[in-house]
Amino acid sequence: MKKMIAALGVTAMVGSVPAYAGEVEVLHWWTSGGEAAALNVLKEDLQGKGVSWQDMPVAGGGGENAMTVLRARVSANNAPTAAQMLGFDIQDWGAQGAAANLNDVAAAEGWDSVVPAALQAFSKHDGKWVAAPVNVHSTNWVWANKKIFDELNLSVPSNFEEMAAAMDKMKAAGYTPLAHGGQAWQEATIFDSVVLATGGVDFYKKALIDLDAGALSGATMVKVFDRMATLRSNVDENFSGRDWNLASAMVIEGKAGMQIMGDWAKGEFLNAGQKPGEDFLCFRFPGTQGAVTFNSDQFVMFKIGSDRQAAQGELAKAIMAPSFQSAFNVVKGSVPARTDVPNDAFDDCGKKGMKDLAEANSSGKLLGSLAHGHAAPASVKNAMYDVVTAHFNGEFSSAEAAEELASAVAAAQ
Ligand code: BGC
């Protein structure tokens, strides 16, 4: 029907079916149940505007696999309409000149005044908007099974020692304390939190953003790796290669006590029908309260044929609409990328996420996530992934890992 309407060049509404307004092809890595539910909000929003959706999913958190597929597509002169992207990768595509200029739609819709500067730093290249930010996630969260906490009389840990004591109790009671999937990006996600909890905001900046060799190899980093080893001793023996959403399921099903993961995990709990405060708890990784390690999913729009540009413009506009930002982020687990979206529709974890973000932003404690592409360029991020994962899998002692981290980062720059 839509194709027929398009072929006839009809632009009016036919009954309740909106007129065909083109097609968008979108590359992304939202393949879990919760992610798919959130993506549906976007698909349906566009379909309501007559824009049809061509899905291009590439599984893998952190987007490494998606970026590999994207590079192949663009080199073959077959760029998608848009691709989900994180931080420094956006800047890379901007520098390569492959991204479309969204300044017209941004000016018409007033993006400059509603998107926080910390996000604009990634969305704009050379003064031009090249990406539309759909959300702000953060990685320094713990997702916990409330029944297990109640049964073992545990309260929310406020520092690493209390976290370790809680894990001991869970283990003694026969639970897997930490649900974890052994993939480099998941270990790096935990690393974000442990670096922040162990060294504080200034250390996080010095080590993961300024890439200071002394901070990367010094005593604080050795302690970070010791703590990573403590966490490692609290995962089950089948952790290798497990997808993050299957780790979330272990907490949802009451097999594991906690998962250290970005707030996309909340999407899995909600998708399983669970409620915050009743079935699961959300709290900041102990020792990181007040600070936020953020990442923002943004859609980079590519330079494409003029026949596809109108639908691309609709996509950019739809992503940034305040009502959409609320509806989407409520399901996704993230918070809006605009400062003017009310928090009414959000649950307690979402409200906390919004409040934490605003406070961290105004107190200088808003930090880009290393694991999710907002602290350092991909080459450095990948070098850190390798060392963190090798240590997690027992290849290095903590002291060796800190040394390796500094040399791997130096070599990657
Ligand atoms: C993205 C999230 C996604 C998660 C797991 C992160 O890099 O920012 O949107 O849900 O990866 O796939």
pLDDT tens per residue across span 275-295? 999 999 999 999 999 999 999
Q: Where are the domains of the chain?
A: 10-137+295-353, 138-293+367-412
Atom of ligand 1 at shortest range from CA of 62: 7
Atom of ligand 1 nearest to the CA of 333: 10
* Ligand 1 mutation pick, 137, 245, 300, max ligand atoms within 8 A of CB: 137
pLDDT of residue 16: 75
Residue with the smallest CA separation from ligand 1 atom 10 is: 264
Cβ contact 208:405 at 8 Å: no
pLDDT at residue 14, as a whole number = 54
Closest-lying ligand 1 atom to the alpha carbon of residue 35? 10
Ligand 1, atom 6: closest residue by C-alpha = 62
The Cα–Cα gap between 79 and 413 comes to: 28
| CA 69–ligand 1 middle distance (angstroms) | 16
At residue 15 the predicted structure's pLDDT band, cuts being 50, 70 and 90, is low
Mean pLDDT of 298-321: 97
**Of all atoms in ligand 1, which is nearest to the CA of residue 371?**
7
Q: For residue 369, which of 282, 218, 261 has the smallest C-alpha distance?
A: 261
Q: How confident is the model at residue 9 (pLDDT cuts 50, 70, 90)?
A: very low
Q: What is the average per-residue pLDDT within 372-385?
A: 98
> Tell me: the pLDDT tens digits for 106-161?
999 999 999 999 999 999 999 999 999 999 999 999 999 999 999 999 999 999 99
CA 399 to centroid of ligand 1, rounded, Å: 31
Task: Find residue 260's DSSP bridge partners.
Answer: 142
CATH homologous superfamily of 10-137+295-353: Periplasmic binding protein-like II (3.40.190.10)
Query: What is the whole-number distance in angstroms between the Cα of residue 62 and the centre of ligand 1?
Result: 6
Nearest Cα residue to atom 12 of ligand 1: 61
pLDDT score at 318: 97
pLDDT band at 3 (very low <50, low <70, confident <90, very high): very low
Q: Rounded distance, CA 262 to CA 63, Å?
A: 14
Short-list 254, 242, 227, CA closest to 143: 254
- Which residue owns the Cα nearest ligand 1 atom 11? 61
Q: How far is the CA of 102 from the CAs of 93, 182, 206, 301, in angstroms? A: 14, 38, 33, 8
Residue nearest to atom 2 of ligand 1 (CA): 264
Q: How far is the CA of 245 from the centre of ligand 1 (A)?
A: 11
Residue percentage of the chain with pLDDT more than 90: 95
Would you say residue 12 has pLDDT above 60? no
CA-nearest residue, atom 1 of ligand 1: 62
- Residue 157's Cβ-side half-sphere holds a number of Cα atoms within 13 Å equal to 23
24-78, pLDDT tens digit by residue? 999 999 999 999 999 999 999 999 999 999 999 999 988 999 999 999 999 999 9
Question: What's the CA-to-centroid distance between 318 and ligand 1, angstroms?
Answer: 20
Residue of the nearest CA to atom 7 in ligand 1? 62
- Which residue's alpha carbon is nearest to atom 4 within ligand 1? 61
In this predicted structure, what is the pLDDT of residue 13?
A: 53
CATH of domain 138-293+367-412: 3.40.190.10
In terms of pLDDT, which residue wins out, 17 or 368? 368
Pocket residues: Cβ below 6 A from ligand 1: 29, 35, 61-63, 86, 137, 264, 295, 297, 372
Question: How many angstroms separate the Cα of 15 from the Cα of each of 1, 12, 50, 251, 314?
Answer: 12, 9, 13, 46, 22
Relative orientation angle of helices 219-232 and 398-412, to the nearest 10 degrees:
110
pLDDT (mean) for 204-214 = 98
Query: Cα(371) to centroid of ligand 1, in Å?
Result: 10
The ligand 1 atom nearest the CA atom of 60: 12
Same fold, 10-137+295-353 and 138-293+367-412: yes
Strand order in the sheet with 23-28: 52-57, 23-28, 82-86, 297-301, 131-133
Residue with tokens 């599984």: 59
Q: How high is the pLDDT of residue 8?
A: 41
pLDDT averaged over the chain? Answer: 96
Q: How far is the CA of 165 from the centre of ligand 1 (A)?
A: 30
How are beta strands 141-145 and 256-260 bridged, if at all? antiparallel
**Does pLDDT of 212 surpass 50?**
yes
